[in-house]
Amino acid sequence: MEQSIIAFYEKSLGMKQVLMDAVIETLTMSLISTFIATIIGFALAIVLIVTDKNGISPNQYTYKILDVAINMLRSFPFIILIIVLFPVTKFLVGKHTGTFAMIVPLTIGTAPFIARMLEGAFKEVDRSVIEAAKSFGTSKFQIIFRVLLPEAFPSIISAITLSLIIIIGFSAMAGTVGGGGLGAVAMNYGYYRFDGIYIFWTVFILIVLVQIFQSLGDFLYKIVKH
Amino acid sequence: MIDIKHLSKYFNDQRVLDDISLKVNAGEIFAIVGHSGAGKSTLLRCINGLEGFSDGEVIVLGKEVKNLNESGLGELRSQIGMIFQNFSLLNQKNVYENIALPMKVWGYSKEQIQKRVDELLKLVGLETKKFVYPKELSGGQKQRVAIARALTLNPKILLSDEATSALDPNTTKSILELLQEINKNLGVTIIIVTHEMEVVKKVATRALLLEDGKVIGLGRIEDLFLRPDEKMMKFLGEDEELPEEGVNIRLFFPSNVSYQPIVTKMARELDINFNIVWGKLEKLNDHVVGSLVINIDEQAATLITDYLEEKTEVIWEVI
């Protein structure tokens, strides 16, 4: 018993460098992708909320086209999306494997998801508050940035937290088709070499990462929510 | 100040406002009354262009609302404050930021904003709540913040959409008193939409009664409530149970005679007995007015009517 614990400890110590590198790769992929996807998702959400039939400047066609496009992108299983996007990734990054290459499918795959969640956050804002803002002559542009954005801000924090966690999960998936990070370690060392200890540590680290980001998100939410 | 002519509005095929004409004068408190779904909030929203309309004219502060472009409408709205049933405050902003919002939107300087917000906080009696967030306020306090916000830009008109409907009777009273004060001291014309008759009776000088988008009454509060016609009576849910024998005479006591002992004096002087079969005293707009229905033998009817005509200021009718 004691011997096996020592063996586990020594083996784990030997993996330290591989796992550390993988964590940094995973964080790089996830954080950069979340950042870009949030910006894209935010812009899409603004267009959705503005052109919605109950929005401040309804436009049925714009809304419908965007709506369908977002649904289409969201219906791809992520692993298939990575493969479908290989040519796009190669065009943008120069290659379709590796940590940085994976930022492309991660961003494109999650931006529509973030757009939907932010749209939901904006829709939660009481319509009568928007009406009140209109009643003292607030322009459409100001309604978005002085009313919708501050009122939806706590929900936006929650949405970004959730997105980051989903992207961490997706990034691990990306590791199986040429991406780097914890997914690649679990695949290369754990699956192909049948090394259970690698699987154990990658899963363990992923759980800890998700916990950290969720707690951080909850903490931020509490600070900004009034 | 506000001149609405033959206003109609359709929602799909349904007519929600039907040929409404009314004038609101500067400085008055005008009430739009009706049961829910009567179209009163829609009518109110036509005044500041939050709702469009199909036919007719809505002229506010000399401008036809229908013809205004976006910036013209914004300009007009800056002169019309509005308050709502559920207060419509920004929950993520504190009291100060909520009241300051209209001025921020219109690009006032920080000093101007601070000065104005302090004035308004004093007016609505919330100086101590300046940096408090709405969720920590009671309903009445929230509505006070909303009123302050509606007054930030010194509007000429204040629209109130069921502003007291979510409040308890005491809070309702204090909010109505605040509105009266604003009307009197700042000269703001106030239009109140409500389904609560008590609100109308307490503050309004004139009222419009709406049912299914149609006007069923328009006039001074005293006339509407004290001499209700059949429609109005039905609207108020008042059913008079009157005896079928003899003659029923309704007496109206305007505010200047409502405290005089007219009825007993008449009985004594004419030496006639009669039944008081129905009656009410009401406080309308801080004046006490009353109406009474008496029942007498047919032979004595002329004696009574002659007496009422010659010796009193009471208005009467045989019903």
Can you tell me which residue has the tokens 């505010």?
A: B255
Q: What global pTM score does this model have?
A: 0.81
Q: Is B77–A136 a contact, with Cβ atoms under 8 angstroms apart?
A: yes
Give me chain B's average pLDDT, please. 87
With b for 16 or more beta-carbon neighbours within 10 A and e for fewer, the A135-154 pattern comes to bbbbeeebbbebbbbbbbbb
E strand or H helix that includes residue A221: helix A196-224
Q: Tens digit of pLDDT for each residue in B161-192?
A: 999 998 998 999 999 999 999 999 999 999 99
- CB A131, CB B42: distance < 8 Å: no
pLDDT at B205 over 70: yes
Of B104, B133, B149, the CB nearest to A226: B133
With beta carbons under 8 A apart, name residues in chain A contacting B120: none
Q: Is A137–B50 a contact, with Cβ atoms under 8 angstroms apart?
A: no
Count H helices, E strands: chain B? 11, 14
How much is the ipTM here? 0.80
Burial of A214 per CB tally in 10 Å (0-12, 13-18, 19+) = middle
Pick from B224, B209, B244: which is nearest to B284 by CA? B224
Give me chain A's average pLDDT, please. 90
Question: In this predicted structure, which of A20-29, A182-191, B102-111 has the lowest mean pLDDT?
Answer: A182-191
Q: Tens digit of pLDDT for each residue in A33-55?
A: 999 999 999 999 999 999 998 88
With b for 16 or more beta-carbon neighbours within 10 A and e for fewer, the A81-105 pattern comes to bbeebbeebeebeeebbbbbbbbbb
Measured between alpha carbons, how far is B61 from B55 in angstroms, rounded to an integer? 19
Q: Tens digit of pLDDT for each residue in B214-232?
A: 888 888 887 787 777 777 7
A132 touches chain B (CB under 8 A): yes
Put residue B9 in one of left, alpha, beta given phi > 0 → left and psi -120 to 50 → alpha. Answer: beta
Q: Is B91–A151 a contact, with Cβ atoms under 8 angstroms apart?
A: yes
* DSSP secondary structure of A72-99: HHHHS-HHHHHHHTHHHHHHHHS-SSSH
pLDDT at A155: 95
- CB A23, CB A182: distance < 8 Å: yes
Q: Note the Cα A200 to chain centre separation in Å.
A: 24
pLDDT at B319 over 80: no
Minimum CA–CA partner of A133 in chain B: B102
pLDDT band at A107, cuts 50/70/90? very high
pLDDT at B234 over 80: no
A54 touches chain B (CB under 8 A): no
Measured between alpha carbons, how far is A189 from A13 in angstroms, rounded to an integer? 15
pLDDT at B238: 67
Measured between alpha carbons, how far is A201 from A180 in angstroms, rounded to an integer? 16
